[in-house]
Structure 1
Amino acid sequence: MDRWQAMRVFVKVAETESFARAARELHLSAPAVTRLVAGLEALVGARLLVRTTRSVKPTEAGARYLQDCRRILGEIAEAELAAAGHQVEPSGTLAITAPLLFGQLHVLPLVLDFLARYPEMRVRTFFVDRQVNLLDEGMDVALRIGQLPDSGLTAIQVGQMRRVVCAAPSYLEARGTPATPAALKEHRILVCQGAWASPEWRFARGQRVVVDPLLLCNTNEAAIAAAKAGHGLTRVLHYQIAPALAEGSLRIVLTDHEEAPLPVHLVYPQGRQAAAKVRAFVELAVAALRGDPLFGEPSD
């Protein structure tokens, strides 16, 4: 069996949701399409497609394998073009993941710029506040804030991000501004459980404070909204309150006691061998993010 051809047929069946339509578009007979997909399923040892009364859908294993097949076929096409001396243009679908709010505020504009430059491209975003496994979840590029674990992924630092304590001016006028981390014990504390699950807030020079939160929120947006309404102090990443700082509805405190900023990286597999679509997006994103004063200068 020609594995490359079988993968190509599988992708077409999954995209058209029809064996018959895939056969027509690939100029193959219906039995040939069925045979190639069956051979591929036997090869990988898993059911890849399931027939319904109206269409054909990938199984859970098939959906994961579909992403891999698209990537592999794209890389084969790029390799052939490069070997022939042609300029390789970004093509296919690019999958990008980032933290939820960061993705909405800072990655989405980059995606729109990328699509404007490469109108034949397609992009799938996955903005979520958890660590996404790029390979398992079919992602091409991730933006990550914080220290990175050891992995085989390529990482390019694009900047750094402060962790800040903030409150509304009305709260600070009514309750006073804490001069030291220890003074937080006397204040109303608002916490996002997801981002800061530990009750211990750490500061520069080894200072640590165990906070007793008045309010526990499951999103940063909720904690920030409560702080803007004057209900207390919260601790977030600087980018999450940049609009509120600009409009004056929040003010940062304890700036002299902040821990070192967290690194911000673009992460992707395959390094220099990455697909043209990945290289093109990373080049665009690195230039834009490093030029944004919100992220500071990336450390060496």
Structure 2
Amino acid sequence: MEWEGISEFVHVAETTSFTQASKKLQISTAQVSRQVSALEKRLNIKLLYRTTRKVSLTQEGQLFYQHCRSVLDGLAEAERAITNLQTKPQGKIKLTAPVTYGEQHILPLLNDFMLQYSDIEIQANLNNQRADLVEEGYDLAIRIGKLSDSSMMAKKIDQRTSYACASPSYLGKYGTPHSLSELSKHKCLLGTLDHWLFREAGKEKSIRITGGIRYNSGLGLVDAALKGLGVVHLPDYYVTQHIKSGNLITILDKYREPEESIWAIYPQNRHLSAKIRLLVDYLNAHLN
């Protein structure tokens, strides 16, 4: 009894027409009108302004509509979730991820995932440019750092730390910098950006970097650092093994930026897809 009239009211609110609402619901206009009127009577509140030309929401109607829309969306999600549980995940997933992180962390997990779910096929495009998921038809993207697109669903699956480091031979020859200002006196190995991010006195600090070597390849920069050509600033998945082996030495540790989050993001209309939810949960479980 409590649910009667809710769907009719929401459709009228969204179409601003009893006639259009009746067409969407495939019932008579008179039935829509009766249900909405009965709902208003039950609530003892006027939800709609009715004129011969249009229908509009009252202030109370606007508030009630927002809650009703949320409830109906929740019911639809619950129904699809149950349906998904009864359906074996299958089909194609189109995914994009940053190149090196994707090679080292994402692709091996995708291979393991497809061994478990043989009816799912994955097409992965590794690219450091941020793709438009909707325009380019991606189901899922792996993004690092701050998220700018609030229209996407997002789930944190991992984190990374960036290190400033150099080889023992370089530090032995040029000395170890102990402050951010000393970086200007050192040979710095540049990537695609001309600044490095640190944290000083609790605040983010961007340091402009200059140097004679600039590569758009993290692996190339690591190799240059290992060969004593300068100081490098790169995420952990490039340098951790070399730090552990002693071939690279971390510097300026007290200025290191906090960990950055790594996210799986996907369009809202993919939120209820069993295969997408399954893959995101799998990545989260194996990366965190």
What's the TM-score bracket when you normalise by the shorter of the two chains?
0.5 to 0.7
Amino acid at match of 2:125: F
Alignment of 1:133-282 (within 5 A): 133-193=132-192, 197-199=193-195, 201-205=197-201, 206-270=204-268, 273-282=271-280
Q: Note closer, same or farther for the CA distance 1:272–1:93 as it changes in structure 2 (3 Å cut).
A: closer
Deviations 1:245-273 (A, max 9, x none): 23332222111111232221111122784
Q: Note closer, same or farther for the CA distance 1:81–1:272 as it changes in structure 2 (3 Å cut).
A: closer
Q: CA deviation at 1:98?
A: 0.9
- Aligned equivalent of 2:285: 287
- Using the alignment, how far apart are the partners of 1:151 and 1:208 within structure 2? 25
Amino acid at match of 2:238: Q
Instruction: Flag the structure with larger Rg.
Output: 2
- Over the matched positions of the two proteins, sequence identity in percent amounts to 30
CA-based RMSD of the aligned residues comes to 2.5
- Using the alignment, how far apart are the partners of 2:216 and 2:255 within structure 1? 26
Amino acid at match of 2:180: P
- Aligned equivalent of 2:68: none
The answer as to whether partners of 1:189 and 1:211 remain within 8 angstroms in 2 is yes
Q: Look up the SS of the partner of 1:212 in the other structure.
A: coil
- Using the alignment, how far apart are the partners of 1:218 and 1:176 within structure 2? 27
Amino acid at match of 1:173: G
| TM-score after normalising by structure 2 | 0.66
Q: CA deviation at 1:200?
A: 5.7
Q: Note closer, same or farther for the CA distance 1:87–1:218 as it changes in structure 2 (3 Å cut).
A: same
Task: Figure out how many residues of one structure are paired with residues of the other and give that number.
Answer: 209
- Using the alignment, how far apart are the partners of 2:175 and 2:269 within structure 1? 51
- Using the alignment, how far apart are the partners of 2:81 and 2:178 within structure 1? 61
The answer as to whether partners of 2:198 and 2:255 remain within 8 angstroms in 1 is no
Long gaps (5+) in structure 2: 1-77
Long gaps (5+) in structure 1: 1-78, 291-300
- Using the alignment, how far apart are the partners of 2:208 and 2:152 within structure 1? 35
Q: CA deviation at 1:91?
A: 0.7
Q: Note closer, same or farther for the CA distance 1:248–1:274 as it changes in structure 2 (3 Å cut).
A: farther
Q: Note closer, same or farther for the CA distance 1:85–1:146 as it changes in structure 2 (3 Å cut).
A: closer
- Aligned equivalent of 2:116: 117
